[in-house]
Amino acid sequence: MDHVVTHWNKACAEVTGRSATEIVGSRNHWQPFYWEPRPVMIDLIVDGSAETLAGTYYGDKFKPSPLIPGAFEAEDFFPRLGENGRWLFFSAAPLRDSNGRIVGAIETLQDVTSRKLAELKLHQAQLDLEKLVAERTAQLAQANVSLEIDISKRETAETELLRRNAELTDLNAKLSMAQQQLLQSEKLASIGQLAAGVAHEINNPIGYIFSNFNTLEIYIDNLLSMLKFYEDAEASIAMPDVVAMLRATRERVELDFLKEDIPVLMRESKEGIVRVSKIVQDLKDFSRVDGGQDWQWANLHKGIDSTLNVVNNEVKYKADIVKEYGVIPDIECLPSQINQVILNLVVNAAHAISADRGKITLRTGTDDGTVWIEVADTGAGIAKENLSRIFDPFFTTKPVGKGTGLGLSLSYGIVQKHRGRIEVESEIGKGTCFRITLPIQRVLPNSDGKDATP
């Protein structure tokens, strides 16, 4: 209890480098461990101050023993021990007499330098590993950033590729449409040339047939006059046999009926020839091949009338044609192409009338330097979902084999070529109205692409 060392074993001497002879019987047990005098753990135990002062000397390195009441444990590094210092784990416990009173204290020391160095190395290795992981994580993050940038660039390139592919697809579609329109235009031009040639060839025989009919009318009038004279002279014939023969012949040939029917036949035939001549002339006007394909000033009403005459067979059994013409000036246009637009709209209107006989109304008017033409029908109408597609090439609501889907597309292209516009209003069950607006004078584009009149 007076802090004098009573026992210092061989292991303790080896660890501290101090022999039992030097330490036993003295109070110098602090010297192997510290530079200056200070109490060690067993000093605090015999003084009964371990719980209050251990923290002062050992900080948070000590803790009560889990096995021995009043005992304490600690672990610390002692630089004075050995060449490079030693880590010691020490445990101090009180020594008690039979009555439980503290009569001294015992402290055991264990050299844990190897374990501690291994722990330190392990800790350092863990630190190095954490540092390496942090570095690798940073590298991976940088790689991820680079990868994201690369992915973004690839996505941008893919988007651009898709955009260009879409443009190419659209361009191919437009090219295909242009090719089809060109083929259709070429076909229409060939039909127009053929129609104009046929009309020209038919004009000659119609001309001399018409002339022959005029001459034939004169001849028949003369013959009828002569027959009238013979009829008047018949009463003066004295020979009964001759009179009987004349009367029998007159009854056999039905002369009275012939005198009434021949003028009627001649009149109807002449009307038919006049109508054929009008159709041929309208066909020539519609094709306009003889007038060339140059821009020219034309009377729209005349073109509409000739077109209606050409398509009369398509319309006459389906609808009545109503003309509500306004006062409009001649316009500068490609007449045969405008006639083609009117033909397409009128034929479509006739096809739209599927039930009872309907009505197709053509109106014209002028407004602020433009003229307009309306083609309205009382047909089935166009569904709203189809209104935005009716001018697309090959789009048609007609049964298979009844339409190519190019009529309205070609019409739209012709109107655009004339720098005009074509609009449509429709209601299911009530009919459709197309309105074409055209400039009176041809509009030419400037060098900047904007429209300008000459």
The predicted pLDDT at position 117 comes to 87
Contacts of 224 (CB under 8 A, 6+ apart): 259, 262
Residue of 330, 309, 362, 336 whose CA lies nearest to 438: 330
The predicted pLDDT at position 291 comes to 45
- Block means of pLDDT (10 residues each) for the chain, 454 residues, are 94 91 92 91 90 84 86 90 89 92 93 88 90 91 91 92 90 76 58 58 67 73 73 70 75 75 75 72 57 78 86 82 93 88 88 83 92 92 80 62 63 88 89 93 66 51
**What is the greatest pairwise CA distance in the chain?**
204
**How would you write 113-146 as a 3-class SS string?**
HHHHHHHHHHHHHHHHHHHHHHHHHHHHHHHHHH
Instruction: For 149, list phi and psi in degrees, rounded to 5.
Output: -60, -45
The predicted pLDDT at position 289 comes to 44
Residue ranges of domains in the chain, CATH in brackets: 10-111 (3.30.450), 294-454 (3.30.565.10)
Residue of 372, 375, 393, 384 whose CA lies nearest to 178: 393
The predicted pLDDT at position 186 comes to 52
The predicted pLDDT at position 397 comes to 60
Residue written as token pair 């209601």? 427
pTM: 0.44
Q: Would the CA dihedral through 310, 315, 320, 326 be positive or negative?
A: negative
Residue of 405, 440, 398 whose CA lies nearest to 420: 440
Instruction: For 36, list phi and psi in degrees, rounded to 5.
Output: -130, 160
Contacts of 103 (CB under 8 A, 6+ apart): 1, 95, 96, 97
